[in-house]
């Protein structure tokens, strides 16, 4: 459902992107880079943040279509610094990923995972408001520009507070629900997760995305992921509806709706 506040942000964000050059991002009237647009990661981070080889899928009947693609990884230094007990839990998550991954159940993905799922998302911003809409499950984030203090409660997408550091949009994210994962490989966190995102325009149609992840209950130190995000430049580019709740209903509740055979 589109609210009045969302419409206001959309109107504010309708700034022309003319004047772009091949290697320079367009600017907003206030001089900040124009990040308005539909963006998408083109990597395999949603399957596994760390470097990984291609592997067969868990649903054998899907054959090659359900296989998991390999990728070079997006973790700075190559390895996520798990504490010993947390590393064992990650291994258990991986073994049970077909049933345990929150994505399977259509739960909201959290941050940073929402930004590198295989679906586009849209940034809408002006000097007074920043809003991010995701195609996956209709997820949204209202980026607060004034820090209201600690999040009143944990939520799937957390509380986001943004500010500009030069030409980089920095978003501090707290209050994230501990049930979200970072990827399909079982990489996880606790309720102590703290994420700092950095969006930097490298040109008119490419952003550098970086997220620093801190969680002393799970990791031995803070660590980073980094990747490019690409703007959709198709004439009819837009977010399509992907409200996956109905796709997960049979999986989640089928056992309660099936008639018992006599």
Share of residues in the chain with pLDDT > 90 (%): 78
Tell me the pLDDT band of 205, cut-offs 50, 70 and 90: very high
pTM (2 d.p.): 0.87
Which pLDDT score is estimated for 150?
95
What SS3 state is found at 91?
Answer: helix
Contact 148, 66 (CB under 8 A): no
The model's pLDDT over 214-251, given as tens digits with 9 standing for 90+, comes to 999 999 999 999 999 999 999 999 999 988 878 876 76
Q: Is residue 217 part of a domain?
A: yes
What mean pLDDT do residues 145-173 have? Answer: 97
- Domain that residue 226 falls in: 26-50+69-233
Q: Is residue 20 part of a domain?
A: no
Domain total in the chain: 1
- The token duo for 62 is 């899907």
Q: Is residue 205 part of a domain?
A: yes
What mean pLDDT do residues 151-178 have? Answer: 97
Q: Is residue 204 part of a domain?
A: yes
DSSP state of 150: S
Residue 6 has pLDDT above 70, yes or no: no
Residue pointed to by tokens 């997220």: 211
Q: Is residue 143 part of a domain?
A: yes
Q: Is residue 3 part of a domain?
A: no
Q: Is residue 133 part of a domain?
A: yes
Phi, psi of 137 (to 5 degrees): 60, 20
Neighbour-count burial of 163, counting CB atoms closer than 10 A to its CB (0-12 exposed, 13-18 middle, 19+ buried): middle
Nearest to 67 by CA among 79, 75, 59: 59
Q: Please give the C-alpha separations between residue 239 and each of 97, 118, 135, 157, 231, in angstroms, as whole numbers.
A: 28, 13, 6, 19, 12
Q: Is residue 243 part of a domain?
A: no
Whole-number Å distance between alpha carbons of 167 and 150 = 26
DSSP bridge pairs for 214: 194
Tell me the pLDDT band of 72, cut-offs 50, 70 and 90: very high
CATH of the domain at 35: 2.40.128.20
């Amino acid at each position: 459902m589109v609210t009045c506040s969302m419409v206001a942000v959309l109107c504010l964000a309708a700034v022309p992107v003319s004047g772009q050059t091949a290697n320079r991002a367009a600017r907003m009237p206030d001089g900040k880079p124009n990040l308005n647009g539909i963006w998408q990661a083109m990597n395999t981070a949603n399957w596994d943040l760390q470097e990984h080889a291609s592997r067969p899928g868990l649903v054998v009947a899907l054959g090659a279509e359900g296989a998991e693609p390999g990728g070079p990884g997006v973790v700075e230094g190559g390895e996520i610094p798990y504490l010993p007990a947390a590393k064992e839990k990650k291994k258990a998550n991986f073994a049970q990923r077909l049933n345990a991954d929150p994505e399977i159940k259509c739960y909201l993905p959290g941050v940073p995972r929402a930004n590198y799922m295989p679906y586009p998302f849209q940034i809408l911003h002006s000097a007074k408001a920043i809003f991010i809409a995701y195609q996956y499950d209709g997820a949204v984030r209202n980026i607060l520009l004034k820090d209201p203090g600690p999040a009143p409660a944990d939520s799937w997408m957390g509380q986001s507070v943004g500010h500009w550091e030069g030409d980089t949009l920095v978003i501090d994210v707290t209050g994230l629900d501990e049930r979200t994962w970072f990827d399909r490989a079982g990489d996880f966190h606790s309720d102590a997760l703290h994420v700092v995102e950095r969006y930097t325009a490298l040109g008119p149609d490419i952003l550098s995305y970086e997220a620093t992840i801190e969680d002393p209950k799970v990791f031995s130190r803070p660590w980073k992921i980094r990747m490019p995000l690409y703007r959709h430049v198709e004439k009819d580019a837009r977010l399509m509806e992907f409200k996956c709740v109905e796709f997960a209903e049979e999986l989640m509740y089928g056992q309660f709706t099936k008639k018992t055979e006599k």
